[in-house]
Amino acid sequence: MNPQNQNERTRIREATDRLLAGQATASDGSLTVVALAAEAGVHRMALIKRHADLKNEFYERVRNETQQVPEPERRLRETVSKLKETVANQKVEIEDLRQQVIRLTLAAAVLTQDASRRRQDTSLGDNVLPFPGPRT
- 8 Å CB contact between 39 and 15: yes
Note the pLDDT tens digit of each residue in 45-71. 988 888 999 999 998 888 888 877 777
Where do the structural domains in the chain lie, given as residue ranges? 3-68, 73-123
From the list 11, 81, 60, 69, the residue with the least C-alpha distance to 40 is 11
Q: At what angle do helices 52-66 and 33-40 cross, to 10 degrees?
A: 110
Per residue in 97-114, pLDDT (tens digit) is 999 999 999 999 998 887
Q: Is the pLDDT of residue 4 over 80?
A: no
Q: Is 118 helix (H, G, I), strand (E, B) or coil?
A: helix
Instruction: Please give the single-letter amino acid code of residue 100.
Output: Q
pTM, two decimal places: 0.53
Q: Which amino acid appears at position 89 of this protein?
A: N
User: What does the mean pLDDT of the chain come to?
Assistant: 85
CA-angle at 57, arms to 53 and 59, nearest 5°: 120
